[in-house]
Structure formats: C-alpha cells, structure tokens
Amino acid sequence: MKDSAPPSVDTPDDDGARSPFTCRAPSDAGPGAHSSLPGDNDVVPAAPHGGRSPAWAVVLSEVFQAPIVLAVLLVLVPWTAHGTFASLAWGVAAALSVCGVSLATVTVLSRQGVLSDHHVSVKEHRRPVMIGTFLLVAVFLAVTLVFHGPVEITGLLTATLAASAVVALVSPWWKISVHGMMMGGTAVILPLAWGPWGLLFGPVAVAVCVSRRVLRAHTWAQLAAGSAYGVVFLGGIYWLIAG
C-alpha cells in the first residue's frame, strides 16, 4: 500500500483569495506548528495563481536582503563621509565580520535543512538567527568603540543591535518583515548621510516591500510594521548617534 502524500493546503491571503501553499501537518508539527491566522502561517511562498514568481520581485527580494543592505551601508556611509582609506577599511571589516559571517551561516544552515531557507521564512527559526546577529554586532560594536572607529559605523551597529533585539522577541509569534525594517531604516539613514540624493532610495524601498508581498512572504501588516519599526529604531537611533 502506497503512503499517502502530505496534503497541500490552500491558505487564504489577506484579500480572501485562495492561494497555493505547501504547509506542515498542523497536529504534530511541534515547534513549527502553524497559526490559524490568515497570512501568518509559516508557508513556503508560492507564485501567484500557481505560476512562476515575477522575476522583478525575486530579484529585489534577493538583492535587498538585510545583511546585504547593511553591508553596503557599513562600507559606503563612513567612506563617503570621510573619504579616507581608514574609513573604508573600517567599513569593509564591519561588513565582513557582521554581515558576511551572518549571511554565510544562514546560507549553509538552510542548505543543510536546519533552516527553512536563506530568508528564514519559518518564524520560529528567526530567534536564534537574530540572537546570533545580535552577538556579532555587539562584538564588532565593542571593537569600534575601543579603537575609536567611525561614528557612522557606531550609529549603524547600535541601531542594528537595538532592532535585532526586539525582532528576536517578536518573531517567534509574528513574522514582522525584516526586509521592511531594513528598507524603512535605510530610507532615513541615506538622506541623513547624503542629503537630498538619499531620498532617491525611497521608491526602491517601497518596491522591495511590494516585492515581498507579491511573493507572499509577508502580509501588508507585517510589512508596514517592519517599515515603521525600521524608520523609528534604525533611522532614529542612527540619527541620534551619527546624524
């Protein structure tokens, strides 16, 4: 007798439409058990109407991952502010130590099946990832303070430290958007660092958030909350320290 395949469950999204997702068994899934709230389950995003995901949404979602965006900020912001080799070296060291290690670890663990994917879509998996990020940031922040690194790096890492702490507390219960958080924070940080030119990032931030909704990785509420949180915590703390 053949074993029956696990059921494929159609989960309604925010608009009430039925969307194809593959879900874990709800009864004995253990720590990965699903919420009954629409759009808040740990699901593998499926393309709208069962087709392929829009290429533009996939590209934006991949290119603007939080570790990549933070790495670029850590390199460019202090370098454009000071224009010295020392500021560039500090930025590269921070990007590799914090973002490089974090992204490499998540990538390896997702390929080994320890994590759902490199976006850490299962919300129960997010707390240990955020705790690891918290520790990496804390260590390099301490190094920056002891050796008097650029204030821009101090501001970015302090803001990231505060943001990752709160996300680690919230994520096991509600999958707040880290993409949204990073986009909201960056939309504040770049104008502070580059003046009016930094405002050009605004439409990019909106497009990235829309891409996450198109890919059905988050609800609009999760994206809005993440973006607002990024504006207040990432942007606000950076402004207080380095603005």
Residue for token digits 């204030």?
A: 151
3-state SS class at 54:
coil
53: Cα within 13 Å, side-chain hemisphere: 19
Cα–Cα distance, 166 to 216 (Å, whole number):
23
Nearest residue to 181 (alpha-carbon basis) of 93, 98, 72, 64: 64
141 lies in which domain range?
A: 57-242
Q: How many domains does the structure of the chain reveal? A: 1
In a domain, 45, yes or no: no
In a domain, 39, yes or no: no
In a domain, 49, yes or no: no
In a domain, 44, yes or no: no
Cα–Cα distance, 235 to 31 (Å, whole number):
33
In a domain, 52, yes or no: no
Between CA 134 and CA 95, with CA 161 as vertex, the angle to 5 degrees is: 75
In a domain, 20, yes or no: no
- Give the per-residue pLDDT at 23: 35
- Give the per-residue pLDDT at 158: 96
Per-residue pLDDT tens, the chain, 243 aa: give them.
444 444 444 434 444 333 333 333 333 333 333 333 333 334 444 444 456 789 999 999 999 999 899 999 999 999 999 999 999 999 999 999 998 887 887 777 788 776 766 666 666 676 677 778 888 899 999 999 999 999 999 999 999 998 878 877 887 788 889 999 999 999 999 999 999 999 999 999 999 999 999 999 889 999 999 999 999 989 999 999 997
In a domain, 222, yes or no: yes
- Give the per-residue pLDDT at 70: 95
In a domain, 225, yes or no: yes
- Give the per-residue pLDDT at 117: 64
- Give the per-residue pLDDT at 20: 36
- Give the per-residue pLDDT at 61: 93
